[in-house]
A and B are shown apart, each in its own frame.
Chain A
Amino acid sequence: SQKIEQNSEALNIQEGKTATLTCNYTNYSPAYLQWYRQDPGRGPVFLLLIRENEKEKRKERLKVTFDTTLKQSLFHITASQPADSATYLCAPGRGYGGSQGNLIFGKGTKLSVKP
Chain B
Amino acid sequence: DADVTQTPRNRITKTGKRIMLECSQTKGHDRMYWYRQDPGLGLRLIYYSFDVKDINKGEISDGYSVSRQAQAKFSLSLESAIPNQTALYFCATSVAGATDTQYFGPGTRLTVL
**Chief secondary structure at chain B's binding surface:** strand
The stretch of A16-24, A53-61, A77-85, A104-112 in contact with B is: A104-112
The stretch of B11-19, B67-75, B79-87, B103-111 in contact with A is: B103-111
Q: Are B101 and A101 interface neighbours, CB within 8 A? A: no
A49 within 8 A of B: yes
Chain B residues closer than 8 Å to A107, beta-carbon distance? 40-42
Q: Are A108 and B42 interface neighbours, CB within 8 A? A: yes
A43 and B99 contact, Cβ closer than 8 Å, known pairs A100-B48, A107-B41, A107-B42: no
- Give min CB distance, A7 to chain B, whole Å: 14
Q: Are B99 and A34 interface neighbours, CB within 8 A? A: yes
Q: Are A105 and B42 interface neighbours, CB within 8 A? A: yes
- In the assembled complex, the Cα of A75 lies from the Cα of B56 at a distance in Å of 32
Chain B residues closer than 8 Å to A74, beta-carbon distance? none
Give the contact-size bracket for chain B.
Answer: 20 to 34
Chain B residues closer than 8 Å to A32, beta-carbon distance? 98-99
A41 within 8 A of B: yes
Q: Are B107 and A34 interface neighbours, CB within 8 A? A: no
Q: Are A46 and B92 interface neighbours, CB within 8 A? A: no
Interface residues of B in 5-47 (CB under 8 A from A): 33, 35, 40-43, 45
Q: Are A46 and B100 interface neighbours, CB within 8 A? A: no
Q: Are A105 and B43 interface neighbours, CB within 8 A? A: yes
Q: Are A46 and B99 interface neighbours, CB within 8 A? A: no
Chain B residues closer than 8 Å to A34, beta-carbon distance? 99, 101
- Give min CB distance, B99 to chain A, whole Å: 5
Residue ranges of B at the interface with A (Cβ–Cβ < 8 Å) = 4, 33, 35, 40-43, 45, 48, 56, 58-59, 88, 90, 92, 94, 98-107, 109
